[in-house]
Structure 1
Amino acid sequence: MPMSDTKSKKLNVLFITQDDPFYVRLFFEEFFKSFNDLASIKGVVIAAAMGKKGPVQLARQMYDFYGPLDFVRVGTRYASYKVKARIPALAGGNFYSVGQLCAHHGMPVFSTNRVNSPEFLASLREMDLDLIASVAAPVIFKKELVELPRLGCINIHNGALPRYRGMLPNFWQMYHNERQVGITIHEMNEKLDDGRILRQEMVDILPGETLDSLIRRTKILGAHVMARAIASLRDGTATYRENPASEGSYFSFPTKDHVREFKQNGKRLI
């Protein structure tokens, strides 16, 4: 699937993301493989999550979500990815961390746990940025960060906005028996999943598809949607539509009851 041509004019673009080996890595694998002007990407910031949950609380949340068997499966996969990321000889030429993938493509990588700090903002100003793109960034962008690039900040959200705001939108779209899910690129402000919609493309949910396979597939497709959005900003052809909060709902992380209902309706997580 070819991406939009990006050679006529360059934008200085910075990504802010997290080092997720499951899904975010797939986005960047596809983006780096297919985007034909990587020189315009000034780097990738890997941000640390600033949430209040510690490792034990996060593990408990994942256990409650997946249940015993799927929790073991996911945990085993996670451990395997981490080992392969640390021991490249076991990776078979693949990359199991976002940082390694970026380094392979000659992409500058920055790490921080304070994206809104004065010191970090000062370092970004030196990059002369046109655009910041968030890909599953685990932090809230405050006003000064949002307004720093000339064209602002954009975010990719794997849900059909404005209907599906919040956490794990692919789960909620499947939960509500949607036939399609949305991949949305929207402007960012200080509110979550707010800001005008720059681009939205709908993707069919395939028969028998699991939540895991849907997330993986939409991350890969999302790389192309992001590329087209960046190209439209570069070319001056971008169009926007409103993203009214009154027309949507904010969904939090699913409870055990939600997951039980999900499975009772014949759906699977992995």
Structure 2
Amino acid sequence: MDVIVVTQDDPFYMPLFFRHFFNEVSEKIKLRNVVCLKPFDESFSALIGRMYGLYGPVNVVRRGVSYVTRKASDALGLGSNSVVTAAQRRGVSVEMLDTVNDSSFIERIEERHIDVILSVSAPEIFAPSLLNAPTWGCLNVHTAKLPKYRGMLPTFWALYHGDEEIGVTIHTMEEEVDHGQIAKQSTFPVSPSDTLDDVIKQGKREGGRLAAQALNTLAEGEIQLRPMEGEESYFSFPSAEERRELQRQGRCLL
């Protein structure tokens, strides 16, 4: 079964996903390549402003120092802190693109008879023509027990609302974001001492394992899809005030 993964690169979370994904995916899955898109379609200054609002002044500095350290370590070959490095160690090629919605990319998917596109934190909404390009379809990884916590940064919102467990869902993709049918779903517990960073990391580990399991099952012809049922909710990126409220509840970010 031929698969292409669409994602974004970062030195914190996505390498964790891919290390667990590569360890679990079966030999029947032919990973043709990983496509990395730019994180958030916004300027560098806008991205810094967004991160400042999420982490606050002290934590954004800590995050910045860690970012530089991890990027340098990866560049010097002293660590595996990027999707590129994780993929190369597996022998999977990585392609950097501005968009996956242009006609040339979609034509390549069709010409190469790609069976599945796996979306992992992809910062671009897939166009209908892209959703219909793979022979089987597209799967998305979402760190929530869908249909609850659709939207952005679902782990933040689960902690914000006091949830004691975090969901991970692998689902088929439709034109409406975070809709579709469930291919795999699981949960993991959250302790009071877990930081937002801890929970996001655990979500990536679980997401990598679960995505591999979904593809393995699909390759065996045993995938069983089911509808999303239960409480529905949608949240956008948290504001600075919402971040402060999470901290007032006693939850650390890093």
TM norm structure 1: 0.89
- 1:33 is matched by which residue type in structure 2? N
Query: CA separation in 1, counterparts of 2:213 and 2:188?
Result: 16
Partner of 2:96: 111
What secondary structure, in the 3-state scheme, does the structure 1 residue paired with 2:150 have? strand
By how many angstroms is 1:137 displaced?
0.8
Structure 1: state its 5+ residue gaps: 1-10
- 1:71 pairs with 42, 47, 60, which one? 60
1:155 aligns with 2:140: yes
By how many angstroms is 1:81 displaced?
1.4
Question: Is contact 1:47-1:138 (8 Å) kept?
Answer: yes
By how many angstroms is 1:207 displaced?
3.4
What secondary structure, in the 3-state scheme, does the structure 2 residue paired with 1:66 have? helix
What secondary structure, in the 3-state scheme, does the structure 1 residue paired with 2:141 have? strand
Partner of 1:231: 216
Partner of 1:6: none
Question: Is contact 2:40-2:47 (8 Å) kept?
Answer: no
- 1:222 is matched by which residue type in structure 2? G
By how many angstroms is 1:152 displaced?
0.3
By how many angstroms is 1:50 displaced?
6.0
Question: Is contact 2:39-2:123 (8 Å) kept?
Answer: yes
By how many angstroms is 1:21 displaced?
1.4
Counterparts in 2 of 1:50 and 1:69: CA distance versus 1, 3 Å: closer
Query: CA separation in 1, counterparts of 2:28 and 2:34?
Result: 12
By how many angstroms is 1:256 displaced?
1.4
Partner of 1:16: 6
TM norm structure 2: 0.95
By how many angstroms is 1:57 displaced?
1.2
- 2:235 pairs with 247, 251, 263, which one? 251
Query: CA separation in 1, counterparts of 2:86 and 2:244?
Result: 36
Query: CA separation in 2, counterparts of 1:229 and 1:42?
Result: 17
Structure 2: state its 5+ residue gaps: none
By how many angstroms is 1:70 displaced?
0.6
Matches within 5 A, 1:144-223: 144-223=129-208
Question: Is contact 2:2-2:31 (8 Å) kept?
Answer: yes
Query: CA separation in 2, counterparts of 1:260 and 1:135?
Result: 28
Query: CA separation in 2, counterparts of 1:114 and 1:267?
Result: 36
By how many angstroms is 1:38 displaced?
7.3
Counterparts in 2 of 1:32 and 1:38: CA distance versus 1, 3 Å: farther
By how many angstroms is 1:49 displaced?
4.2
- 1:143 is matched by which residue type in structure 2? P
User: Percent of aligned pairs with the same residue?
Assistant: 37
Over aligned residue pairs, what C-alpha RMSD do you find? 1.6
What secondary structure, in the 3-state scheme, does the structure 2 residue paired with 1:21 have? coil
Partner of 2:50: 61
What secondary structure, in the 3-state scheme, does the structure 2 residue paired with 1:225 have? helix
What secondary structure, in the 3-state scheme, does the structure 1 residue paired with 2:170 have? strand
1:48 aligns with 2:32: no
Counterparts in 2 of 1:39 and 1:165: CA distance versus 1, 3 Å: closer
Partner of 2:249: 265
By how many angstroms is 1:127 displaced?
2.2
